């Protein structure tokens, strides 16, 4: 395989073909997954990506397409070393570029574009992408969101979804082909198509608007309101949203995706709701979805235990976002990854050295959470952040004033500063379990991290674990997208217990409740793909060339 490495270097230059120890940060998942690779190729243009794909396919290696590698289930890294052939990662993060289509209602994103870059690009136009600041990690790519049907926190927009994409696949005849379903007339030859697209070399007359293809989920706002439905609102394996690149999980090589943009809400307000009754929050959710004229912008849930852990172990993340802004954070995280890579080779430094430094530094800063939030933390077990816009602000204010004021629940309307800090704190919850593990490896075995979608008609959303399952759990952190009934549940497992066995037992409990999982982080190498999802993978990649083994499927050629 040295010939393939030499060929990749001829295409990209030696600097952008990594081998040996230099591949480590690309071969290790954000939270889970690792394995060895022959090489990591980092193309700098769409044409280079096409040529690298051609060389890899001709050599018969397994190909893992990778963008920001921020997934939580190991879906963009190798999983072990039992592929029966060498593995090459093609990392697309050097291929940036956003093309604005006339009217600014749609954009075309190349594979290295991050959600933050798209948000910043659209901001001066008064527009927003499908999702804004995420729930789990920073620097995630737009392409990764589409390939994983990522959920997002914005209720009216639903999961990331598009039927308009440009991608390469290996067909049933074992031939690499480029599929142009972008709705842009760019020519017939692959390299011509790719050059023209990257240069923005097309006019209005070459832009098609197919009526049978959408660039976002057009029905989600109606779908989520159906609180009588015995199925979840959104989950990764939902057949409604498996279409070519959408839900592909790397079983194709994505070159570009066309997406809707959305008008930014000019006026918003955040209502901070506290309650000691899960039933009370159920009534709020069901009434708003069924009866309000205006859907909320977002509705984020935090349990008091998650509030407390994030207040301590997510403080540095909170401060970094508040002080630096989201635009600078991807660069900060890249710097952290490089620092960790160097520190790991210095024997006398402790494991997780950068996490320990940041945790120590945060202690020197004053209290970062508003006084009213801290008071509600003391009063209430359950916290709900309800963000409304336009006429929905008065609608929510009036209903809450009449229906939520008593011994079990209360609310206050946030100032702009309080609202921003409340949602920043919710964001910080997602990384708190990882930081807690880093600081307490002597007593923590690992994290079991579930993201689950409950039925829309489920009124018993609060989890009550059997005693034998709960016994080895040190901490349970519950948070999530309350109106979509999508919950993130992080369990800190005590030393000496088997996290995998505990997780499998939890799956059985979730199955009995009619829940779907994963809801938005996709199967990766942690979950078994359900039949509809596995069939989607096989249809896209009949020879099993791309991301073999995803969702517990075969890693071998042609699904052997």
CB distance 186 to 197 below 8 Å: yes
Binned at pLDDT 50, 70 and 90, residue 171 comes out as very high
pTM here is: 0.92
Binned at pLDDT 50, 70 and 90, residue 32 comes out as confident
CA 481, CA 279: separation in Å to the nearest integer? 17
Binned at pLDDT 50, 70 and 90, residue 135 comes out as very low
CA 78, CA 73: separation in Å to the nearest integer? 11
Instruction: At 64, give phi and psi (nearest 5°).
Output: -115, 115
Say if residue 71's pLDDT is above 60: yes
The angle, 0 to 180 degrees and rounded to 10, between the axes of the packed helices 353-362 and 329-343 is 130
Instruction: At 20, give phi and psi (nearest 5°).
Output: 60, -140
Say if residue 331's pLDDT is above 50: yes
Instruction: At 559, give phi and psi (nearest 5°).
Output: 65, 30
Q: In the prediction, which pLDDT does 329 show?
A: 65
| Average pLDDT of the residues of the chain | 94
Summarised one tens digit per residue, pLDDT across range 456-502 is: 999 999 999 999 999 999 999 999 999 999 999 999 999 999 999 99
Q: What angle do CA 196, 199, 204 make, to 5 degrees?
A: 70
CA 224, CA 289: separation in Å to the nearest integer? 8
- For residue 192, list its beta bridge partners: none
CA 147, CA 68: separation in Å to the nearest integer? 13
CA 456, CA 293: separation in Å to the nearest integer? 19
Q: In the prediction, which pLDDT does 25 show?
A: 86
Q: Where are the alpha helices (DSSP H) in 348-498?
A: 353-362, 371-379, 392-403, 416-439, 467-470
Judge if the upstream peptide bond of residue 518 is cis by omega within 30 degrees of 0. yes
Those residues whose C-beta lies under 8 Å from the C-beta of residue 457, and which sit 6 or more positions away, are 227, 228, 229, 230
CA 224, CA 152: separation in Å to the nearest integer? 14
CA 336, CA 350: separation in Å to the nearest integer? 15
Summarised one tens digit per residue, pLDDT across range 422-432 is: 999 999 998 89
CA 363, CA 161: separation in Å to the nearest integer? 41
Binned at pLDDT 50, 70 and 90, residue 386 comes out as very high
CB distance 51 to 253 below 8 Å: no
Higher pLDDT, 337 or 118: 118
State whether the Cα torsion 370-278-309-115 is positive or negative: negative
Instruction: Determine the straight-line distance between the first and last CA of the chain, rounded to whole angstroms.
Output: 23
CA 243, CA 453: separation in Å to the nearest integer? 20
Neighbours of 487 (CB within 10 A): 23
Q: In the prediction, which pLDDT does 328 show?
A: 66
Q: In the prediction, which pLDDT does 136 show?
A: 42
């Amino acid at each position: 395989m040295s010939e393939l490495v030499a060929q990749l270097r001829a295409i990209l230059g030696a600097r952008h073909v990594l081998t040996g120890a230099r591949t480590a940060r690309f071969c290790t998942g954000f939270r889970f997954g690792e394995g060895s690779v022959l090489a990591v190729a980092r193309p700098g243009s769409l044409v280079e990506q096409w040529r690298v794909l051609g060389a890899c396919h001709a050599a018969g290696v397994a190909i893992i397409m990778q963008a920001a590698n921020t997934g939580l289930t190991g879906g963009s890294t190798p999983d072990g070393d039992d592929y029966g052939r060498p593995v090459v990662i093609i990392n697309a993060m050097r291929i940036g570029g956003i093309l604005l289509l006339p009217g600014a209602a749609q954009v075309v994103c190349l594979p290295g574009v991050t959600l933050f870059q798209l948000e910043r690009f659209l901001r001066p136009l008064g527009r927003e992408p499908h999702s804004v600041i995420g729930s789990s990690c920073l620097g995630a790519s737009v392409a990764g969101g589409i390939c994983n049907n990522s959920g997002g926190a914005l209720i009216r927009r639903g999961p990331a979804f598009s039927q308009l994409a440009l991608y390469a696949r290996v067909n049933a005849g074992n031939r690499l082909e480029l599929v142009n379903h972008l709705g842009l007339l760019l020519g017939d030859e692959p390299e011509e198509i790719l050059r023209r697209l990257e240069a923005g070399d097309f006019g209005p007359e070459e832009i098609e608007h197919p009526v049978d293809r959408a660039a976002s989920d057009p029905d989600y706002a109606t779908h989520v309101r159906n609180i009588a439905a015995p199925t979840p609102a959104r989950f990764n394996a939902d057949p409604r949203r498996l279409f070519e690149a959408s839900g592909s999980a790397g079983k194709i090589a994505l070159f570009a995706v066309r997406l809707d943009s959305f008008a930014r809400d000019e006026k918003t307000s955040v209502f901070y709701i506290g309650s000691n009754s899960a039933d009370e929050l159920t009534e709020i959710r069901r009434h708003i979805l069924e009866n309000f004229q205006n859907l909320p912008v977002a509705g984020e849930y935090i349990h008091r235990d998650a509030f407390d852990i994030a207040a301590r172990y997510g403080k540095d993340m909170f401060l970094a976002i508040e002080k630096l802004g989201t635009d600078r954070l991807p660069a900060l995280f890249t710097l952290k990854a490089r620092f960790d890579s160097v520190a790991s080779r210095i024997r006398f430094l402790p494991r997780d050295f950068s996490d320990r430094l940041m945790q120590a530094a945060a202690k020197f800063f004053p209290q970062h959470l508003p006084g009213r939030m801290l008071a509600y933390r003391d009063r209430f077990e359950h916290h709900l952040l309800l963000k409304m816009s336009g006429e929905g602000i008065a609608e929510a204010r009036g209903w809450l004033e009449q229906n939520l004021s008593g011994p079990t629940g209360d609310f206050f309307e946030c100032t702009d500063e309080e609202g921003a800090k409340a949602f920043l704190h919710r964001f910080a919850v997602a990384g708190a379990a990882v930081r807690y593990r880093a600081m307490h490896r002597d007593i923590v075995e690992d994290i079991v991290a579930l993201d689950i979608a409950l039925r829309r008609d489920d009124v018993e959303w609060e989890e009550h674990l059997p005693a034998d399952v709960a016994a080895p759990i040190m901490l349970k952190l519950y948070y999530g997208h309350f109106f979509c009934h999508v919950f993130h549940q992080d369990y800190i497992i005590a030393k000496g217990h088997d996290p995998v066995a505990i997780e499998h037992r939890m799956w059985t409990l979730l199955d009995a409740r009619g829940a779907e999982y994963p809801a938005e982080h996709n199967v990766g190498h942690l979950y078994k793909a359900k039949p509809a999802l596995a069939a989607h993978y096989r249809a896209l990649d009949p020879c099993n060339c791309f991301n073999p083994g995803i969702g517990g499927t075969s890693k071998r050629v042609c699904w052997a």
